[in-house]
């Protein structure tokens, strides 16, 4: 790490000492798969959890679990408060002026579907355009395909450049007639950081609502919806130190207020008669049934943890790791790295090694205790575009170290030896 | 560090790499009696097989695919095994046979890779000889 | 408890000793709200969790959390196995011949919506009938209202008798033209146990699919879909000792196989191109995005725990508690109990006390550490039918004791004193 | 056991029970200038208020409702307080005033009950005097 020589950035990033302290909070880092220390380089798929998050949920179940909202007794009041407090924490974390703008869903995927169903079905008609990009995760692609099929709408795609950035030269033409522009803030395959503020502004000028897939952004960088000026944004708890089973759809209040319910049942109603019902205000309107209460508590603890570090520092540290990784991996023969240069990307790095298939590489690394993802990363069409069947992806987070990058480099060298590649 | 990989050198033995890099019966067949293609959606491995039968015997077989060394070598090996066999014989080939032919230990996560070729072969056979 | 005098039933129920051992597994029972021992009588809303469940999830996060399915490394394989093993446990628990018939959803509410969207939108058209009952929870009512509105279909309701049972005399007439018959196995307000096997059979004869809301049944009695011969069944983990954030939709394989996807995105696809996609087989087809992995592990542990006791015994013990409660509460002046007699009901008891509103009663009981639910129990139209604005509901589970019923009785007496009711 | 309930006897004081059982200004108004009804969806409490104004003064007010002692007594008290007041005066009544009038400690879960009447009054006022 070049920290020592860059004093200005020290306070803005994590020191080895900080990282050591962080690592001590993650019990799983003590595991030894195949007898090797765990080197977890798959946080883009799902991050690990600090004890603070695990214990917050544990504590919830041991001390104050009860169904929320309709309970008058003490522990139900505590549970209700904790659930709503988690919503407020999330809202503050993403710069939302109003907690009611944060809907708890299962994961980002459900959040994106919610928009496609509840907003999309209301506004998208025959011949309308839905604009996406060529780097979307299946979760920000398939829901729009289905909407387009149902409504005979047209899908368009912002193309990507050779180095994996959005090619915005024809954006205005593509946006013409668009009702929706859905795009990712950060590519989960290429690591590309997209210019969200610009994209949202241009969507608005064209009369389209902007839907931001912030799955890879919220865990890794300061995100502020007020600054981004987008309309909807979805992300998952499990990628940002929080539990599985919960995610967030954020939406501008006026838009959410105008939308019909999607999933219906207990908790989202106002008056129910046998034949018809009226519905509660947001956010309750979009949270049918007993919600993921313990998970909200866990997500709140994850937000606290990240805020305790500071998202600027999280982002800068990951950037440093990305720089080191690009330098070291880029120096290896027969290694191809996809995506843009360091100034446009975050710590998600996809690569291929000679003719070694990604699965074979991942299997070999696994034996060294190194966890990477191999495959299409829910980006099948992008893989076609890149002309590879699959890539191996290493992704870094606050608990990773430069030493782990060295282990990755050695692992790749070993794979080359086994596959008899120079 | 080499000893770390005993399992890996075992898995990626020379003949596996050879089948991966020089797949036997690679390509497609003009006028095949049956063609079947499948993929493993979770990892993207893909294999297509073309069969030509004569008098209940697999006269020719070709495969085309992409994916990991395990899936491609396994398919390649399989084409060698079944070529010239009767449909009935080929239909009796099971998972165990495939794994035995590969002669290596496969972890749970990679089992689907090793068996994709067999799955495609079975489907192609049932297209070619539906009464079987 | 009359256990001592009924030796035959001892082995079929729980002894005080068993209950004491069970209670020791539930950390929350050591809480002292308002300085009083916690008397938790709200398990119908959400049950408490044994350490076995809490620790299974804890262990998951501490030792082997990773995203499932697409991971080639060791901990991802462990997570994938644990997730699928949970599915198998659930399938065995409800007598399903095939694990793929169990779809993990967030809660029963989502499961019922899934049927309404994916099966309903495909099969229900103008003028078709959807048959419900007058005792359905909002979650098994509102999704069908919306479907009926969209498709101009007709809702019908099986009426209830004075004592809160289904009045089946006109069932054949009501079923004429029905595409769907959705009903609860056990009423969450009245405690009524409905004759599911008969209802499902009569739905089948009439050509309707049967959709069973088993939220209150699966936690409390042996449930076997093969014996019930129903088509769909939904239930929630959080009511059966499991975590929040997960539930199950069970469906007959042929039906699930024939259904289009509902939520779409990562994990539920086969081949994705920019313009179109094909979808995975069930159950993956209905599980879009990263699922509730830790929650599945927790649910699996809950199933183990319940099976360790045996569902016959769970059911019988609850029946005993219900009997005791009906006897003691029924003997109080100015107390009205809703629902059928003991032979048709389970340990869910709704009551009113003089003119004391349910919320006031619940507030008073809360001060004694007694947790009961007050309100409409997501059964607003049923409340209208019963002619009360709200009831107070006490519900019993394996960790409750006859002594806690005595405390409830004393609490009600105190409320009457405060409200100056004889 | 009595001491367990100090908080409860405090909450359900005689005058609260009296307002609950004998609500003041109960009923509806023929030819009201404004009528508003709302409910608390989570618990089902419901309150409707009818207002008659003359020269900016609340000449008459009636309410109808169902729900817990807290919500009904609170609404009943409120009608007593605002009757004869100017619209402007009534519009200035805040949460704190309502809670002070009730003179009891309300827990978070019951706050909505205590304030439902005020919410309905405010809405009715803004219907009756939209320019306010
Ligand atoms: C009979 C019944 N159906 C459906 C539900 C809804 O369950 P959930 O809120 O877990 O989706 C409940 C519980 O509230 C219930 O008791
Ligand atoms: C960019 C992006 N979008 C969407 C998703 C879907 O997230 P989830 O599976 O948590 O719904 C992911 C993660 O897999 C992602 O990286």
The pLDDT assigned to D107 comes to: 80
Which is nearest to C266 in space by CA: C285, C282, C288, C244? Answer: C288
Residue C9 above 50 pLDDT? no
For C120, counting Cβ atoms within 10 Å of its Cβ (0-12 exposed, 13-18 middle, 19+ buried), the class is buried
Query: What are the boundaries of each domain within chain B?
Result: 2-128
Q: Is the CB of C215 under 6 A from ligand 1?
A: yes
Given A374, A389, A420, which is nearest B66 (Cβ)? A389
pLDDT band at D1 (very low <50, low <70, confident <90, very high): very low
Q: Is the CB of residue A419 less than 8 Å away from at least one CB of chain B?
A: yes
Q: Which ligand is nearest to the CA of C42?
A: 1
Q: Is B62 helix (H, G, I), strand (E, B) or coil?
A: strand
Q: Is the CB of A395 under 6 A from ligand 2?
A: no
**Distance separating alpha carbons of residues D55 and B88, to the nearest angstrom:** 99
Which two three-digit tokens encode residue A268? 């989202």
DSSP string of A40-106, one letter each residue: E-BTTT-----HHHHHHHHHIIIII----SS--SHHHHHHHHHHHHHHHHHHHHTT-S-GGGEEEES
Flag the least confident range among A3-7, A24-28, C143-147, C239-243: A3-7
How many C-beta atoms surround the C-beta of residue A356 within 10 A? 24
Flag the least confident range among A245-254, B84-93, C70-79, C121-130: C70-79
Mutate to test the pocket of ligand 1, among C188, C192, C346, C397 (most ligand atoms within 8 A of CB): C188
Using a CB-CB cut-off of 8 Å, the residues of chain A touching D110 are 72
Q: Model pTM? A: 0.95
Q: Which ligand is nearest to the CA of A244?
A: 2
The pLDDT assigned to C3 comes to: 38
How many C-beta atoms surround the C-beta of residue C44 within 10 A? 30
Given C109, C145, C295, which is nearest A289 (Cβ)? C109
Cβ atoms of C226 and C97 within 8 Å: the answer is yes
Which two three-digit tokens encode residue A121? 């079905």
Given D42, D43, D109, which is nearest A77 (Cβ)? D109
**Distance separating alpha carbons of residues A226 and A204, to the nearest angstrom:** 14
Å from CA of C216 to ligand 1 middle: 8
Please state, for a pLDDT cut of 70, what percent of chain B lies above it: 93
Torsion of CA C391, C397, C403, C408, to 10 degrees: -10
* Residues of C recognised as catalytic: 378
CB pairs under 8 A between C and D: 59
The pLDDT assigned to A6 comes to: 43
The pLDDT assigned to C6 comes to: 43
Minimum distance, in Å, between the CA of residue B40 and any CA atom of chain C: 8
Instruction: Name the more confident of A87 and C5.
Output: A87
Q: Is the dihedral of CA C158, C238, A84, D68 positive or negative?
A: positive
**β-strands C247-251, C269-272: how paired?**
unpaired
The pLDDT assigned to C44 comes to: 98
Mutate to test the pocket of ligand 1, among C42, C43, C104, C109 (most ligand atoms within 8 A of CB): C109
**Distance separating alpha carbons of residues C224 and C256, to the nearest angstrom:** 18
Residues 220-279 of C with CB under 8 A from B: 269-271
Using a CB-CB cut-off of 8 Å, the residues of chain D touching A70 are 42-43
Q: Where are the alpha helices (DSSP H) in chain B?
A: 6-11, 14-21, 69-82, 87-91, 95-102, 108-128
Å from CA of C290 to ligand 2 middle: 7
Q: Is the dihedral of CA A404, A406, A407, A413 positive or negative?
A: positive
The CATH code belonging to domain C10-49+310-418 is 3.90.1150.10
Whole-Å CA distances, A238 to A53, A303, A316, A351, C65: 11, 12, 21, 24, 10
The pLDDT assigned to A149 comes to: 97
Cβ atoms of B74 and B117 within 8 Å: the answer is yes
Where in chain A do CATH 3.90.1150.10 domains reside? Answer: 10-49+310-418
Å from CA of A287 to ligand 2 middle: 20
Mean pLDDT of chain A: 95
Whole-Å CA distances, A18 to A5, A11, A401: 17, 11, 11
Q: Is C371 helix (H, G, I), strand (E, B) or coil?
A: strand
Which is nearest to C350 in space by CA: C334, C361, C365, C339? Answer: C339
ipTM score of the complex? 0.93
**Distance separating alpha carbons of residues C377 and C391, to the nearest angstrom:** 8
Minimum distance, in Å, between the CA of residue B67 and any CA atom of chain A: 6
Whole-Å CA distances, C173 to B103, C129, C328: 65, 11, 40
Residue B82 above 80 pLDDT? yes
* Residues of A recognised as catalytic: 378
The CATH code belonging to domain C54-308 is 3.40.640.10
Residue A118 above 90 pLDDT? yes
Please state, for a pLDDT cut of 70, what percent of chain C lies above it: 97
- Closest-CA residue of chain B to A418: B9
> Which CATH fold would you assign to the domain B2-128?
Sufe protein. Chain: A (3.90.1010)
Measured in whole angstroms, how far is the alpha carbon of residue B129 from the centre of its chain?
Answer: 19
Please state, for a pLDDT cut of 70, what percent of chain A lies above it: 97
Location of structure tokens 């956010």: A283
The pLDDT assigned to C70 comes to: 73
Q: What is the mean pLDDT of residues A242-271?
A: 97
Given D21, D44, D67, which is nearest C380 (Cβ)? D44
């Amino acid at each position: 790490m070049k920290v020592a020589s860059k004093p200005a950035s020290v306070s803005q990033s994590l020191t080895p000492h900080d990282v050591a302290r962080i690592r001590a909070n993650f019990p799983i880092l003590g595991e030894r798969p195949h007898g090797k220390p765990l080197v977890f380089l798959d946080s883009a798929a799902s991050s690990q959890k600090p004890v603070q998050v695990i214990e917050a949920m544990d504590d919830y179940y041991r001390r104050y679990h009860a169904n929320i909202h309709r309970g008058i007794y003490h522990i139900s009041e505590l549970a209700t408060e904790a659930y709503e407090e988690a919503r407020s924490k999330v809202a503050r974390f993403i710069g939302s002026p109003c907690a009611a703008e944060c809907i708890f869903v299962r994961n980002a995927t459900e959040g994106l579907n919610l928009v496609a169903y509840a907003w999309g079905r209301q506004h998208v008609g025959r011949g309308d355009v839905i604009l996406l990009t060529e780097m979307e995760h299946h979760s920000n692609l398939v829901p729009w395909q289905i909407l387009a099929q149902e409504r005979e709408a047209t899908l368009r795609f912002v193309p990507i450049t050779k180095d994996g950035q959005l090619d915005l030269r024809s954006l205005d033409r593509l946006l013409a007639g668009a009702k929706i522009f859905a795009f990712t803030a950060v590519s989960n395959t290429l690591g590309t950081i997209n210019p969200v503020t610009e994209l949202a502004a241009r969507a608005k000028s064209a009369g389209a609502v902007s839907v931001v897939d912030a799955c890879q952004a919220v865990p890794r960088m300061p995100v502020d919806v007020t600054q981004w000026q987008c309309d909807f944004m979805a992300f998952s708890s499990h990628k940002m130190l929080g539990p599985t089973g919960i995610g967030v759809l954020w939406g501008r209040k006026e838009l959410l207020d105008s939308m019909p319910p999607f999933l219906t049942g207990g908790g989202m109603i106002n008056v129910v008669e046998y034949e018809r019902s009226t519905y509660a205000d947001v956010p309750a309107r979009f949270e049918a049934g007993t919600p993921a209460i313990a998970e909200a508590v866990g997500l709140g603890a994850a937000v606290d943890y990240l805020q305790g570090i500071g998202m600027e520092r999280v982002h800068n540290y990951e950037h440093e790791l990305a720089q080191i990784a690009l330098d070291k991996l880029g120096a290896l023969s027969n290694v191809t790295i996809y995506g843009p240069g360091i100034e446009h990307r975050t710590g998600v790095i996809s690569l291929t090694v000679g003719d070694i298939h990604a699965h074979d590489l991942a299997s070999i690394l696994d034996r060294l205790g190194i966890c990477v993802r191999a495959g299409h990363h829910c980006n099948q069409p992008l893989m076609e575009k890149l002309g590879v069947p699959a890539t191996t992806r290493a992704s870094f987070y606050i608990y990773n170290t430069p030493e782990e990058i060295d282990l990755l480099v050695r692992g790749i060298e070993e794979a080359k030896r086994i596959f008899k590649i120079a | 560090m080499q000893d770390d990989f005993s399992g890996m050198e075992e898995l990626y033995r020379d003949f596996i790499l050879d089948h991966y890099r020089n797949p036997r019966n690679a390509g497609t067949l003009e006028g095949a009696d049956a063609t079947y293609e499948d993929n493993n959606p979770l990892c993207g491995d893909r294999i297509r097989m073309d069969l030509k039968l004569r008098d209940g015997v697999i006269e020719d077989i070709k495969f085309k695919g992409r994916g990991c060394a395990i899936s491609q070598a396994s398919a390649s090996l399989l084409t060698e095994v079944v070529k010239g066999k009767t449909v009935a014989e080929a239909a009796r080939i099971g998972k165990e046979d495939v794994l035995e032919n590969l002669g290596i230990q496969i972890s749970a996560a990679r089992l689907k890779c090793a068996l994709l070729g067999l799955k495609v072969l079975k489907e192609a056979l049932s297209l070619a000889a539906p009464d079987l």
